[in-house]
Structure 1
Amino acid sequence: MLKKPPFWIAVVVALAAIGWFRMNADAEVSRDPPSRIAFVTAGDGEYWETAAAGARHAADDLGVQLEVRMLEQTENVQEQNEVLSTLSADKFDGIAVSPVDADGQITVINALAADRPVVTFDSDSPLSSRHGFVGTSNFSAGLRAGTLVKQTLPEGGKIAVLMVNTTKSNMQDRRGGFKTRIEESPNPEDEVVDERYEVVGYFTDEGDDDKCRENIRKALADHSDLACLVGMNARHAPLLLEVLKADGKLDKIKLVTFDTLPETLAGVREGHIEATIAQDPFKYGDEAVRMLVSLYRGEQEYLPVVGRGAIHVSVEAINKDNIDEYQKRVEARAKQTGTKSTANRSDTKDEAKS
């Protein structure tokens, strides 16, 4: 005999169904845009400012009032839950959020999605009742990082990987893709693990810069023959450059990183970083707001017919060969959209936190 599901699961499913009914019913009588949308990040700093700039651009274009809520403590799930709980009691017509804990925040996201559209961006909560996701395929991004490491170390070597945590879906997927590519045999017909490479550890820091510095120094101390350090989060590249320079090991260990903070791009240009994987947080923010507006209006045809509205934006490896062309593209978009570009600045981090 099949067991009945727990009562709370039935409640969540019912609320989600009611929410979809309300949105579709409202769409039949009005195609007006929503009046207020909330945009909740997973931290502060240049990366999240860029995502917020994209969200503001879309909101201005569509005539929607946008309220950006940035976490003061990076990747802090408790703070983000507190922010989301305040939104649930307020009159927001849609909410975009970058979840810190893909599984742990399902109940919170489901409650919000019961009577308004909720879209995740940058990092997903795929098992929740969110109505859409905008971001990259982080598994593919992890594969790309693994490819870069193998190109950087053709003879193999020991690798240490820095992660924020193991709860965010983007971190989980990047690790999965990276592990798959690193273990992949160079011979497609050979099913054995590529023994040239050894990952000595995946080090988590929970968004704490001091913990990250400690992780870097531990990896260096425990493995004198460490060949490469990989930073899976935007914060990691500047911290890697800082620690390796202070310890006299800059350029002695290869670096592969994520994202394009000004310090990171400077590291690529100067040859300290082999390559960094660029995402498009501006596009994430812009598309998240546009998706929310379409959902509120009942324009279901806007969304893909599979994946509950998942929109994946490609990543790109940036190195010394293409960094100038990349930065020109960023500047061109800033000029076209009337937003501030930080592609060629070094003071963004302090300004973004002020």
Structure 2
Amino acid sequence: MNHHRIWNGGILLLSLLFAALFAVFAESVQHTRELTSLLRPEPASGERPPRVALISQVQNNPFWQSVEEGAASASKRFGMDLESMGPTRIDPEEQARLLEKAIAERFDALLVQGQNNPAYARLIDEAAASGIPVITVDADEPGSARKAYVGTDNRAAGQRMGELVVRRVGESGRIGVLIGSEASNQQLRLEGFRSVVKRYPGLTIEDVRTSNISRLQAEEQAEDMLREHPELKAIVGFSALDGLGIAEAAKHLKADDLLVFGFDDPGETRQEIGQGRIAAALVQQSCRIGEQAVTLVHDYLQGRKPAELHYTGTIVLDRASLATLGDGSSAESCP
């Protein structure tokens, strides 16, 4: 009997001790939560921050990473939550699926690349009808209900590239061209480029191929182009990795006299220009595109209607501009 009493008394003491420890733990957890809530910045309205989705053409691409950097900087400044997504390889259908998913998840705003596709435009219209503003970046979707476009004037960029090539190649010779995809921005660059080349009867565009936004495919396509057309004076690339791929192809085939022209500055471009393997590159303001797009979203959510077109500029990167920028400087500064 005494053993049972001692046993029961021990259990009671342990239970009381456990209850006391649990109460102390619960109080500590609550105190930690209160401190965390004090440290966490709350939106002025007391509501959750606006959620913005950036749907890029392809992830792990230097251009789109820079767009995301600018968008993230502006999102932080305005107290927004930015979520970036995109296909791992160029895939317009996957972009459309991601757009459908973002609409279903009720993001407060969407930043998307246009596709010049009626079905894609209808998805943008669906988002707008649901009260979700859409800003197109890099490539426009002008027939849709998007609120604005932010990016390069791509036809003008193609013309500027044409003028740059004429200055280096001269008024006669054969030229090859790589475009990254069939997207409207690439087509507009090619259209602008053609408009300049047509002014010079001695200049011809001998071949146009697609690299699928891939450095390796740019290299392969450029090698095939040079084998079929060894007389080419220049090859021009219109997406971010084309110039590096073309330069590698020229190195493999010992096409030392080939003039290589690239688009954007994916990291190694300056080195290749300094070594003479790339003649020049036309660099977009990719970081600024992301920053301006999020700024327009913020303004729209504050009740300010944006202008329809917001063109960002381009910069010529060559040996002369490198001397001004220096080896460690970028062709653009991100906010």
Amino acid of the structure 2 residue aligned with 1:330: S
1:310 corresponds in structure 2 to: 309
Moved more, 109-118 or 46-55: 109-118
Tell me, yes or no, if the aligned pair for 1:318 and 1:326 is still in contact at 8 Å: no
What pairs with 1:238-249 in structure 2 (closer than 5 Å)?
238-249=244-255
Change (3 A) 1:243 1:70: same
CA–CA distance in structure 2, aligned partners of residues 117 and 84 of structure 1: 13
* Mapped contact 1:33–1:62 kept (Cα < 8 A): no
Q: Percent identity?
A: 25
Structure 1 residues 102 and 257, CA gap change in structure 2 (3 angstroms): farther
1:194-273 matches, cutoff 5 A? 194-249=200-255, 251-273=256-278
- 1:165 Cα deviation from its structure 2 partner: 2.4
Offset at 1:178? 0.3
- How far off its partner does 1:209 sit? 4.7
| Rg larger for | 2
Q: Distance in 2 between matches of 1:263 and 1:136?
A: 22
| Aligned-residue offset at 1:102 | 4.6
Residue in structure 2 matched with residue 174 of structure 1 by the alignment: 189
Provide the C-alpha distance between the structure 1 equivalents of 2:110 and 2:241, rounded to a whole number of angstroms. 25
User: What are structure 2's unaligned runs of at least 5 residues?
Assistant: 1-44
Following TM superposition, by how much is the alpha carbon of 1:109 offset from its aligned partner in structure 2, in angstroms?
1.8
Counterpart secondary structure, 1:105: helix
Cα offset, 1:286, TM superposition = 0.4
Please say if residues 237 and 262 of structure 2, whose CA atoms lie closer than 8 Å, have aligned partners that are also in contact. yes
- Alignment check: 8 A CA contact 2:51 2:107 kept: yes
Q: 2:160 aligns with which of 144, 161, 183?
A: 144
CA contact (8 A) 2:315 2:331 kept: no
Structure 2 SS opposite 1:330: coil
Does the residue aligned with 1:180 lie in a helix, a strand or coil? helix
Would you say how many aligned residue pairs link Structure 1 and Structure 2?
288
**Structure-2 change in CA distance of 1:205 and 1:126 (3 Å):** same
The equivalent of 2:140 in structure 1 is: 124
Residues 1:204 and 1:119: Cα distance change in structure 2 (over 3 Å): same
Question: 1:299 deviation in Å?
Answer: 1.0
Matched, 1:55 2:71: yes
Q: Alpha-carbon deviation of 1:215?
A: 2.0
TM-score normalised according to structure 1 size: 0.76
User: Which of the residues 161, 180, 183 maps onto 2:177?
Assistant: 161
Distance change >3 Å, CA 313–CA 246, structure 1 → 2: same
**Inter-partner Cα distance in structure 2 for 1:290 and 1:171:** 25
**TM-score between the two structures when normalised by the length of structure 2:** 0.80
Residues 1:297 and 2:312 are matched in the alignment: no
User: Quick check: 1:330 aligned with 2:335?
Assistant: no
Unpaired segments ≥5 residues, structure 1: 1-29, 185-193, 338-354
1:6 maps to none
* Kept after mapping to 2: 8 A contact 1:34/1:296: no
Aligned-pair CA distance for 1:296: 2.0
Cα distance between partner residues in 2 of 1:285 and 1:295: 15
